[in-house]
Structure 1
Amino acid sequence: MKVAIVDDEALERKALRKMIGSHLPHAEVIAEGANGREAVEIAKQYRPDVMLIDIKMPGLDGLGAIEAIRQTGLDLQFIIVSAFDLFDYAKQAMRFGVKEYLLKPSRKEEVISALERVGEELEAKRKTEEKHRKLQERIEQLQMLVEKEWLSVLMIEDVPADEWEQWQELLPFSVASGMFIVVQFPNGGRTEEWKRWVEERLGERAPARYIVGRLANRRLPVLLFRSRDDGEIAWKPTVQSFALDIASQFALRHGAPLYIGLGSPVSRLHELRSSYYEALSAVHYYAEREKARVGFLPAKPARAEREKQLLEAVRLGDIGQARAIGLAYIDELIASHSLSAAGRKVDGMFVSLARLLSELGVRYERTVSFSSCRSGAELKQTAFDELGRIAADLEAWRQQQAHGKIGKAKDYIDRHYAEPLTLEEVAEHVGMSPYYFSKLFKEHFGITFIDYVTNVRIERAKEALVRTDCSLKEICFSVGYNDPNYFSRVFKKQTGWSPSEYRKQLQVR
């Protein structure tokens, strides 16, 4: 405890210093003053925890000094040591928050007791502030986890509207409009360092609110958005300028190229997923060509790129997207080629599709020839019907695969539930894309990946509560949770009881 003494009597200051030094080992006199002006300067310069101060001093008196110090906003406690036992002084001192009023001559026991009481109050206050600080840190950490999880769900899961409403209740913001960018880092093993650098730049100069997603395969997704109460933003030029600046700074600082793909700005929550996939396709497009480093996906990519996008959509199992890309591609072919040439190119496109399906293990045999179609409308309809057949074949294959790869994923979760599992990690283990794995997993088990992992962890915790004498903290850590309080909340939500209540219930039986 840091103490300051302000009194115009030197002997009084000396006596008080001696009392404190002899009887309060945890207190230190850090400054002395002889009048109210010095008291104010001492408070500003030394910032003591408590000030012993006289009332009657030359110039600015003690009460005036206390008032001046309070007005600066400094938070310290005052103990008045005065020869004047007057009610008006005491009343004014109470108005300034002074809790101790001692009379001269100062008695050792009274001074020590007063300082001890103030010290205990200060210590209690410090503990409360520290507790609040740690609680705020945990709240902020949990908020970041919720935001990252929400972003992952937004990017890779097809979520019903009612679930979006539940998510909105957990989030401290709304999304009125926004767009994704995807940052691709170079090879070199310094990805975490580079990620921190990008996050710092976002913190300094991001043109809108943002959430940083999980880093995977050297790619970092970032959602830029505005809430309903925020001002309008010219998304495309503003974000493109920001991304170009980031890429330029990165090249100068690290001597390596940084690629940033930009998705289209959207004004509906469910459309953000398409913005993410556009940004993902864009960063792949620019990184592969190594010409420009930042940009949106070209409005009309080369036909080879169209075919590549089509194959990727089929590989991911997104037949709706595959139909959209395929039919747009056929429109372009019809507009720029003769009907027979367009038919031949569509034949080639389906040859590539057949090859991809064969690599996936899907049996597909085409029974039509597109080059024999007699009109553009017939060509489009024939292609549409054939894509429908592929969708049916792919669905049958997916059902067969569900017992294999999804079973393998289940076994992996059952073995590694105590580790910080992510959907991306398990998807990679079974050789599937996160989007496709998430979709297939939910279809097979009827619940999301996150809910399944939670169920496994809570079941293992219930077994440990029954069969062992381990503490709740030990059980918490053993089933993959790092925060006992969070574990207890999840457990109670799943079972209706807290872990300790669950154990007691079983013991009673």
Structure 2
Amino acid sequence: MYRILIADDEAIERQGLELMISRAMPGTFEFSHAENGRIAIEKAEQEKPDIIFMDIKMPGIQGIDAIKEITQKHSHSKIVLVTAYDYFGYAKEALKLGVQDYLLKPKKKEQVLDVVKKLIEKIESEKIQRSEELKQRETISQLLPLLESEICLMIMMNFILDTDFDQINELLKLKIHKGYSTVISLPTDDDDQYEPEKQYMYSTIKNFIKMSGKDCLVSPLIGNRITLFTNFPEDHRVTYSVREEATLFAEKVHHFICKEYNIKASIGIGTMREGVEGLRSSYYEASMVLSNPSNGQPIRYYSKQKTGQEKELTLRIEEQLFTELTNLKIDCAIQIFHQAFDMLVETTNGDVNRCRGEVTELFITLNKYLFRQGVSIDGIGNFSEAIELEQLRHAAEVSLHLIVEVISKDKLSKTESLIEQAKKYIQENYSKEISMELVAEMINLSPYYFSKIFKKIEGTTFIDYLTFVRIEKSKELLLDHNLSLKEICFQVGYNDPNYFSRVFKKVTELSPSEYRNQLVKY
């Protein structure tokens, strides 16, 4: 039911208006009355009416003044100005206050009912709009953690395409200027005694970080590590050293983990860097300092003097090569390798044996990286027959091409397999309520990435494919004349027969009835 407040100093006017509306639309409204502006304000606050009929001339607080106060607190109420004076000045001021309509006394029944019906339509429209807005906000709030995880992985693994990154940035309202990375390493347990609790541990640690007010992105738990990217906006001023600020926060996180789970984490901190590339470099630094066995401190801040520039360079080359290879960018990978090989030749004074050993070690590391991703390149990277530097260079190039070929086939196979799983699920569950988010979750892909690869492989969007499956099934069901169109509508996953008919006609250019009649002719 809708609530109507009638404010008028004449009781007969209030009663007449209520009677006029209630007789025309019985059981639709709850009515309340106010004989002056003060009572109208009080009742508006108590009852929060959907519609208010406000007389301009009343004793005490006038109608316009009452409207001003009511609209400040209850902007959702639809107000109709009622007056015996046809003054443009009143109407102009009322419109500024958001008054919906204007009725002159004596009120005609047709005008009153027309205004009420229009206001009900507006109220219902606003409810639908509000519901849609809430659904969108809910969907976005559910996607934000996935987007946060995805952008962290993009930075860490260098899987960044400009368009993707900009779109995710826009949703996250993130503008990366400069920042640093922190990597939290939880202790491993050979018996996996706390393995069942790892996800819960991750959630509580992430919540602690978020609740602390730290403006940072938090990666998913990868193995036993959580990565943070702290971003400083362009206009941000650091009140004390970044190192001190980062270390203090790391100590808080370390203390929380120790207190909550009685385990001692190790935390690595990278240096302040600029832009996305800088954050990735900072992540490498934080990871590197954690991997340094000579540093037994639980909280470690990266220092080139402690880890060595050569080790940093080697790690960068490995990471860059891995990134370009997994992105199937063979030209970039070969360019990186040539630069590294030239430096290697220079630092070893052209010692073939040492160069062969370093190159072999590089490919062993690449094999390990790829193996963690489920890709095996066993047999690639054997350089025992290369006895000259140029032979070694050429053999490495060939190996890089072979690696890209293996990765490409593996990616295609895995992607096609996942899409086939998704299609099979749709074909088996088209009668249920299916969303892209649900199907993406089922095959362990982010909705954003799933949408992109589905369209790339199938040549159509997820929604269009689901519609195609449902319409094709409805065509089969239309052969059975014992089934009504309404029954067919529900059986193929639609809840609204009218909507089903519109979709069917859009796809086939015939309504379901026309299609069935056409089948009878043939």
- Where 1:189 maps in the other structure, the secondary structure is helix
Aligned counterpart, 1:34:
35
CA-CA distance at 1:390 after TM superposition: 7.6
Of 227, 232, 239, 1:221 maps to 227
- Cα 1:352–1:461 change in 2 (3 A) is closer
After superposition, the C-alpha distances for 1:92-144 in whole angstroms (9 at most, x for unaligned) are 44443334344556666654443222111222233334444545666677777
Q: Does 1:296 align with 2:301?
A: yes
Q: How does 1:51-450 map to 2 (within 5 A)?
A: 51-72=52-73, 74-82=75-83, 84-87=84-87, 89-90=90-91, 92-103=93-104, 110-135=111-136, 149-157=150-158, 164=162, 167-168=165-166, 171-172=169-170, 173-184=174-185, 187-208=194-215, 210-232=216-238, 234-283=241-290, 292-297=297-302, 299=304, 353=361, 361=379, 362-364=381-383, 395-404=397-406, 406-417=408-419, 418=421
Aligned counterpart, 2:27:
25
CA-CA distance at 1:70 after TM superposition: 3.2
Q: Does 1:49 align with 2:50?
A: yes
CA distance in 1, matches of 2:402, 2:11: 93
- Cα 1:122–1:425 change in 2 (3 A) is closer
Contact 1:413/1:453 (CA < 8 Å) preserved in 2? no
CA distance in 2, matches of 1:356, 1:100: 78
CA-CA distance at 1:266 after TM superposition: 0.7
Contact 2:48/2:74 (CA < 8 Å) preserved in 1? no
Contact 2:37/2:62 (CA < 8 Å) preserved in 1? yes
Contact 1:261/1:294 (CA < 8 Å) preserved in 2? yes
Contact 1:354/1:364 (CA < 8 Å) preserved in 2? no
CA distance in 2, matches of 1:8, 1:294: 75
Matched letter for residue 60 of structure 1: I
CA distance in 1, matches of 2:461, 2:126: 41
- Where 1:216 maps in the other structure, the secondary structure is coil
Matched letter for residue 8 of structure 2: D
Contact 1:182/1:260 (CA < 8 Å) preserved in 2? yes
CA-CA distance at 1:450 after TM superposition: 11
CA distance in 1, matches of 2:312, 2:95: 79
**Long gaps (5+) in structure 1:** 332-345, 369-384, 427-447, 475-499, 505-509
Matched letter for residue 276 of structure 2: L
- Where 2:274 maps in the other structure, the secondary structure is coil
- Normalising by structure 1, we get a TM-score of 0.61
- Cα 1:312–1:277 change in 2 (3 A) is closer
Contact 2:455/2:461 (CA < 8 Å) preserved in 1? no
Q: What is the CA RMSD across the aligned residues, in angstroms?
A: 5.5
CA-CA distance at 1:171 after TM superposition: 3.5
- Cα 1:416–1:167 change in 2 (3 A) is closer
CA distance in 2, matches of 1:132, 1:354: 52
- Cα 1:72–1:192 change in 2 (3 A) is same
- Where 1:275 maps in the other structure, the secondary structure is helix
Contact 1:250/1:256 (CA < 8 Å) preserved in 2? yes
Matched letter for residue 42 of structure 1: K
CA distance in 1, matches of 2:11, 2:265: 69
Matched letter for residue 277 of structure 1: Y
CA distance in 2, matches of 1:45, 1:253: 47
Number of residue pairs matched by the alignment: 415
- Cα 1:211–1:104 change in 2 (3 A) is same
- Cα 1:364–1:228 change in 2 (3 A) is same
- Where 2:273 maps in the other structure, the secondary structure is coil
Contact 1:185/1:194 (CA < 8 Å) preserved in 2? no
Aligned counterpart, 1:496:
none
- Cα 1:355–1:409 change in 2 (3 A) is closer
Matched letter for residue 121 of structure 2: E
Identity of aligned residues (%): 21
Contact 2:41/2:70 (CA < 8 Å) preserved in 1? yes
- Where 1:228 maps in the other structure, the secondary structure is coil
Contact 2:451/2:462 (CA < 8 Å) preserved in 1? no
Contact 1:185/1:191 (CA < 8 Å) preserved in 2? no
- Normalising by structure 2, we get a TM-score of 0.59
- Where 2:459 maps in the other structure, the secondary structure is helix
Matched letter for residue 281 of structure 1: M
Matched letter for residue 155 of structure 2: L
CA distance in 2, matches of 1:206, 1:245: 12
CA distance in 2, matches of 1:460, 1:96: 46
Contact 2:4/2:51 (CA < 8 Å) preserved in 1? yes
- Where 2:413 maps in the other structure, the secondary structure is helix
CA distance in 1, matches of 2:109, 2:167: 59
Matched letter for residue 363 of structure 1: N
After superposition, the C-alpha distances for 1:347-373 in whole angstroms (9 at most, x for unaligned) are 9x97995996899654355999xxxxx
